[in-house]
Copies of this chain bind each other. A is one copy, B any other.
Amino acid sequence: MKFFTDKCCLPPPTLERLARLYTLLGRLEEAQTRRVTSRALEGLLSVPCHTIRKDISLLGAAAKAERGYDVAALRQTLGLRLGLSAGYSVCLVGLGRLGGAILNQAGADRRYPLAAAFDASMNRIELTRTDVPLYHSTQISRVVREKAITAGIITVPPHAAWEAAERLIAGGARGIVNFSPVIITAADKPVVVRNISLTGELDVIAAYIHMQGV
């Protein structure tokens, strides 16, 4: 294989696009879609089709002219090369409304099982009904270490977000999806942080409408 000889050289934007493509292909498979063209993917991913073709060519996969890609085969290739097929255990920090919504969907995603959830309120822990084991927030580092949890989802109020992140990282977590409105950064640590923000998405929409006259 001549592709990906130097793993670190794959540019982050390509990596993110290919990971998003993997997520999308899973949904297309569920919808019984067998083949998909790069032009159709352009509409689904909001990425130019030539960029999509170039990204995929880095994996050594190619589309047959006019017939597009085989959805299942491309997804399998992506899963193997990007290490996505296996999945990993995740935990949830914060059992408020958003945390409750995520907890409620636990088990829906077989690749990312929810192995634990945490909250700072013992009262809330006692009132929450779920099959997911619940713990007090002070136990985050210990539980993450013992259960070998790879990533944490943060849905706590702003003032508690940094402490949650520090506890996750102290326990050995290597990824964080942060839904709190505080920006979390871990530039000096080997941790991938994804800060998700509704306002940020509304800003992107505003910029597109303004700049491109969409």
Contact = CB atoms under 8 A, between A and B. Distances in A.
Contact residues on A (Cβ < 8 Å of other chain), bracket:
35 or more
A27 interface: yes
Nearest to A108: B181
A181 B109 CA distance: 11
A210 B151 CA distance: 13
A212 B7 contact: yes
Contact of A183 (B27, B82, B182): B27
B203 A23 contact: yes
Contacts of A174: 205, 209, 214
The quantity of this chain's copies bound in the complex is 2
A19 B194 CA distance: 16
A166 to B, nearest CB: 16
Given A27-B183, A185-B43, A204 B211 contact: no
B22 A82 contact: no
B13 A13 contact: yes
A32 interface: no
B42 A200 contact: no
Nearest to A28: B183
Interface string A155-190: 000000000000000000011010001110101101
Contact of A150 (B100, B209, B211): B209
25 contacts: A7-B212, A15-B204, A15-B211, A16-B204, A18-B207, A19-B204, A23-B199, A23-B200, A27-B182, A42-B187, A43-B188, A44-B183, A83-B206, A83-B207, A87-B206, A97-B101, A109-B199, A111-B199, A112-B199, A150-B209, A174-B214, A175-B205, A177-B198, A192-B205, A194-B204
Interface of A: 4, 7-8, 10, 12-13, 15-16, 18-20, 22-24, 26-27, 42-44, 46, 82-84, 86-88, 90, 96-98, 100-102, 104, 109, 111-112, 150-151, 153, 174-175, 177, 181-183, 185, 187-188, 190-194, 196-214
